[in-house]
Amino acid sequence: MNEERPHFGGSGTPLERWRDDPELADLPSLNLAAIFEESRRVVVIAPHPDDEILGCGGLLMQLHALGRELLLVSVTDGTGSHPGSSLWPAARLAATRPQESRRALARLGLASLETMRLRLTDTQVAGEARTLAYRLHRLLHDDDILLTTWRGDGHADHEATGEVCAALVDGSSRTVVEMPIWMWHWAEPGDARVPWHRAHRLPLDESARAAKRHAMVEHGSQCQPDRSTGAPPILSALALERLTQPHEVFLL
Ligand SMILES: [Zn+2]
């Protein structure tokens, strides 16, 4: 139903609401050793180049430090972020955003991370879900751990990618871990639309938070206003603050 769909208007949930939420602070800790077993590869499946930093940059740093095998799959090149822009036409975004992602990962100490680009159409992942499923099916191992955007995140590409990944777990030894990203914008503490019973928290220290902020500076296309359309940055300063809290939250 329409009224239950997330709203993306305005600046989103104030940072203090999340900061002051006691239930968020009380979420169970993500048990890295138990969830991300040593023998299994972790495959991050990011709809757009930046979701891997915003959703799980801190987790990736910790998994890398533990020596886990990691693969990043970029579903789209994020060419749909600036509709109608003469400053950021799709061709420029296609050339720029994957490079921004590489530089951002380097700032997290992940310059060597293996990356694959699937080049599906940004904003149209739901319509290309069968292609995505097929491409992923071809490259996944039977016991991979999939780390992807939450099926209820309120953004069509995030939800479609999450759905495809969840379906790829059925009948295999794979598991899926989902990360909310836009949820921090439209939801409120205790929001009934969020499956908090599945949520686990990974604390981030100040250096990890600083590294994430530093990494996001590389995503200039997303963090600066568009002079040609007058549009504000895709990611406002507030949105970046909401996404660099002293923890990352994952749905198991
Ligand atoms: Zn995204």
Q: What is the pLDDT of residues 141-192, one digit of tens each?
A: 999 999 999 999 999 999 999 999 999 999 999 999 999 999 999 999 999 9
Ligand 1 center–CA 41 separation, angstroms: 22
The distance of Cα 181 from the centroid of its chain, to the nearest Å, equals 6
What is the model's pLDDT at position 92?
96
The whole-number pLDDT of residue 9 equals 72
As a three-state string, the secondary structure of 3-55 is: HHCCCCCCCCCCHHHHHCCHHHHCCCECCHHHHCCCCCCEEEEECCCCHHHHH
What is the predicted pLDDT for the residue at 18? 96
pLDDT, tens digit (0-9, with 9 covering 90-100), for 222-239: 999 999 999 999 999 999
CA separation for the pair 54, 58 (Å, rounded)? 9
CATH 3.40.50.10320 fits 15-251, yes or no: yes
DSSP E strand boundaries for the chain: 42-46, 70-76, 114-120, 145-149, 175-179, 199-203, 247-251
Residues lying with their CB under 5 A of ligand 1, a single-atom ion: 47-48, 51
Q: What is the mean pLDDT of the chain?
A: 95
Strand partners, 115: 72
pLDDT score of 10: 83
Nearest-CA neighbor of 236 among 7, 11, 8?
Answer: 11
> What is residue 4's predicted lDDT score, i.e. its pLDDT?
52
Determine the residue type at 185: H
Q: The pTM is what? A: 0.95
Cα 75 to averaged position of ligand 1 atoms, centre (Å) = 10
130: its two tokens:
């069968």
Contacts of residue 25, Cβ cutoff 8 Å, sequence gap at least 6: 201
Pick from 218, 1, 191: which is nearest to 97 by CA? 218
Distance 122 CA to ligand 1 centre (A): 9
Task: For residue range 30-70, list pLDDT tens digits in order.
Answer: 999 999 999 999 999 999 999 999 999 999 999 999 999 99
